[in-house]
């Protein structure tokens, strides 16, 4: 006879579920609208998605207020966990999504945006990521991760080019492998501790003094590998350039921001207690991974001939740079992680949108990929404003002061110094210098070379008012966000600190 479970509605704390629910309702609404009346324009769906994301953001802000007032909230049998990290993560996810979804409003028609399902999948994906960051239950994290990933694969494939199919299948295969690794790692930890909640796992492990170190190692290693796939850390990064190249620039830019912040938050929850409890080997492995990721990705980025692939490798390098924050593990470092990622997302948004507006549907003769460096040769002479904007984004990504990303770099390297990782700080700094080369390379092409095959070249072929607005916004943010760095640090810092990270 099963015992009857008495659950009071209040104890469920439904408010914790509110933001994700809104995103899911939005997705369902889009499908229903399509069923009622087909053939509606993509602009409608973009705006519906925007509206629901706005509501979503409002709900996240609501839970931010609750967190600020009452501290960490648990809900749904303690499966949901709304702490500062969850709130910050959701804000970044939703805001970044709101910046990227209008990129569908291109002046040229692209296959994927004619399907309302694309936008439904987009919202499902966001809900998945939100679940992922708002929980410390390994199963819910897994479900969130898979929801998001399974929505993302078809979105890539919908781009309807042979390279997109390749990218989607590659991403799917790698994602499936990562999922397997994640499941296996969680299983080992569950077998060891009898719990699937991270804080309980931490408690049980600490209570028996890490007696079964061997098993802890195995479990953590598998989880690390799983997240390394998602974060594209070397040597699990191999899918990144191909997938970015195959997807549209808009989606590639999106993939370089949002899935990673979700994975970073889970990595923070999972690995920090392990590092803090003195599991030395994990520190060593992470250290090596961070250094190798930064350095190797930079070197690979140097030899790329396609700007999008270069940006893919550069985003791998940035991920390695930020992963250093997880390794350092101080409050300052974790604050730096969010600060860096917010500033990075604006610069990357700008760079990928610039690629996106210059994307021609048919490749010009003699052009092997969408965005080879030669395409931008002499761009300053034909379209000076676009070239200047692109240069601005490149300099921002290179971390040149006073542009936005520099302050993130500064804060993170500062965290490394104050966390006692002086050598790491030096490596991070030198890697920024190496990265300077490939960002400058594009500037060299744009400003110092003469146009090649310029006939029929249009750098604004895809531009519409909304895309231009987004570029303008990203440029404005890159230029002037340094004025907001101080409030950002305080805002992020209070959330991070109050969550105990």
Partner 1 sequence: MLDHILSILIFFPALAAVLGFIVHKDSMRAYGIIVATVEFILSLWLWYAFDNNIAGMQFLEQVNLVPAFGISYLVGVDGISLFIIIMASFFTMLGIATLTETRRIKDLIITLLFLQMTMVGVFAALDAILFYVFWELSLVPMLLIIGIWGGPLRIYASVKFFLYTFAGSLVMLVGMLFMAYYYYQATAMMAPNGIGTWSFSLLDWYRLRLDVDLQWWLFVAFFFGFAIKVPMFPFHTWLPYAHGQAPTIGSVILAAVLLKMGTYAFIRFSLPLFPDASVALMYPVAILAIIMIIYTAMVAYAQKDIKQVVAYSSVSHMGVIILGTFALNVEGITGSVFLMIAHGVVSGALFLLVGVIYDRRHTKLMSEFGGLAHIMPKYATIFGIMMMASVGLPLTINFVGEFLSLLGFYKQSHMMTLLAGTAIIVGAIYMLAAYKKMFFGEVTKEENKNLKDINKTELLGLIPLTIIAIWLGIYPKPVLEPINNSVEVLVQLMHEKAITEEAKSVIPSIVKFETQEAH
Contacts with partner 1, residue ranges (CB under 8 A): 395, 400-402, 406-407, 410-411, 413-414, 417-418, 422, 425-426, 429-430, 432-433, 436-437, 440-441, 443-444, 447-449, 482-483, 485-486, 489-490, 493
C-beta closer to partner 1: residue 137 or 396: 396
Contacts of 86 by beta carbon, 8 Å cutoff, 6+ apart:
63, 133, 134, 135, 265
Torsion of CA 6, 10, 16, 18, to 10 degrees: 100
Of the pair 72, 331, the CB lying nearest partner 1 is at: 331
Closer CB to partner 1, 27 or 443, in the complex: 443
Q: Which is nearer to partner 1, 66 or 444 (CB)?
A: 444
E strand or H helix at 23: helix 18-36
How far apart are CB 215 and partner 1 at their closest, in Å? 38
Q: Compute the least distance from the CB of residue 310 to partner 1, in Å.
A: 15
Query: Is the Cβ–Cβ distance between 275 and 286 less than 8 Å?
Result: yes
Nearer to partner 1, 22 or 397 (CB): 397
**What's the CA gap between 403 and 395, in Å, rounded?**
8
* CB nearer to partner 1: pick between 382 and 418: 418
- Rounded CA separation 58/141 (Å): 23
The residues that bridge with 82 in the sheet, in sequence order, are 73
Question: In angstroms, what is the minimal distance from the CB of 380 to partner 1?
Answer: 8
| Contact criterion met (CB below 8 Å) for 464 and 105 | yes
CB of 89 to partner 1, least distance (A): 21
**Cβ at position 409, least distance to partner 1 in Å:** 9
The residues near 47 (Cβ < 8 Å, ≥ 6 apart) are none
Q: Give CA–CA dist 271/223, Å, rounded.
A: 9
Q: Per-residue b/e over 400-411, b at no fewer than 16 CB within 10 Å? A: beebbbbbbbbb
Helix then strand then coil, in percent of the chain rounded to 5, is 75, 0, 20
Give the SS3 label for residue 200. helix
CB of 426 to partner 1, least distance (A): 5
CB–CB of 373/438 below 8 Å?
Answer: no
**Residue in 357, 301, 166, 152 with CA at minimum distance from that of residue 243:** 166
Q: Which is nearer to partner 1, 259 or 378 (CB)?
A: 378
Decide whether 44 or 430 has the Cβ nearer to partner 1: 430
C-beta closer to partner 1: residue 226 or 391: 391
């Amino acid at each position: 006879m099963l015992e009857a479970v008495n659950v009071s509605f209040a104890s469920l704390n439904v408010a914790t579920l509110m933001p994700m629910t809104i995103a899911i309702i939005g997705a369902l609404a889009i499908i229903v609208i399509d069923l009622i009346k087909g053939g509606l324009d993509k602009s409608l769906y973009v705006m519906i998605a925007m509206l629901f994301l706005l509501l979503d953001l409002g709900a996240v802000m609501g839970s931010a207020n609750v967190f600020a007032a009452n501290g960490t909230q648990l809900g749904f049998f303690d499966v949901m966990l709304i702490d500062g990290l969850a709130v910050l993560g959701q804000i970044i996810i939703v805001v970044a999504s709101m910046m990227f979804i209008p990129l569908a409003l291109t002046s040229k028609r692209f296959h994927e945006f004619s399907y309302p399902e694309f936008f439904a999948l987009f919202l499902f994906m966001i809900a998945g990521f939100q679940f992922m960051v708002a929980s410390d239950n390994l199963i819910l994290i897994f479900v969130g991760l898979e929801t998001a990933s399974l929505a993302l694969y078809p979105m890539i494939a919908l781009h309807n080019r042979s390279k997109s199919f390749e990218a989607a299948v590659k991403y799917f295969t790698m994602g499936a492998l990562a999922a397997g690794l994640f499941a296996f790692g969680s299983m080992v930890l569950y077998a060891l501790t009898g719990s699937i909640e991270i804080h309980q796992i931490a408690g049980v492990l600490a209570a028996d003094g890490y007696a079964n170190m061997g098993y802890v190692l195995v479990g953590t290693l598998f989880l690390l590998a799983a997240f390394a796939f998602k974060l594209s850390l070397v040597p699990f990064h191999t899918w990144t350039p191909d997938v970015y190249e195959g997807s549209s620039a808009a989606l590639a830019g999106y993939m370089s921001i949002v899935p990673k912040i979700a994975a970073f938050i889970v990595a923070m929850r999972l690995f920090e207690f392990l590092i803090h409890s003195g599991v030395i080997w994990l520190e060593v492995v992470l250290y090596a991974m961070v250094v190798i990721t930064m350095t190797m990705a930079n070197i690979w980025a140097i030899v790329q001939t396609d700007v999008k692939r270069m940006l893919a490798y550069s985003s791998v390098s940035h991920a390695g740079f930020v992963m250093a924050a997880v390794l350092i593990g101080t409050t300052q470092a974790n604050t730096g992680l969010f600060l860096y990622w917010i500033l990075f997302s604006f610069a990357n948004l700008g760079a990928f949108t610039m690629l996106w507006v210059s994307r021609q549907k048919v490749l010009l003769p003699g052009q092997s990929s969408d965005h080879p460096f030669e395409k931008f040769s002499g761009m300053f002479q034909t379209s000076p404003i676009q070239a200047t904007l692109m240069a601005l984004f490149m300099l921002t990504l290179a971390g040149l002061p006073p542009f936005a990303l520099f302050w993130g770099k500064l804060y993170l390297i500062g965290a490394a110094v104050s966390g006692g990782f002086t050598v790491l700080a030096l490596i991070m700094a030198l890697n920024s210098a190496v990265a300077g080369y490939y960002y400058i390379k594009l500037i060299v092409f744009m400003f110092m070379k003469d146009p090649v095959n310029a006939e029929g070249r249009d750098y604004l072929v895809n531009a519409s008012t909304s895309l231009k607005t987004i570029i303008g916004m990203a440029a404005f943010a890159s230029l002037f966000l340094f004025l907001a760095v101080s409030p950002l640090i305080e805002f992020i810092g209070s959330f991070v600190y109050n969550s105990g990270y």
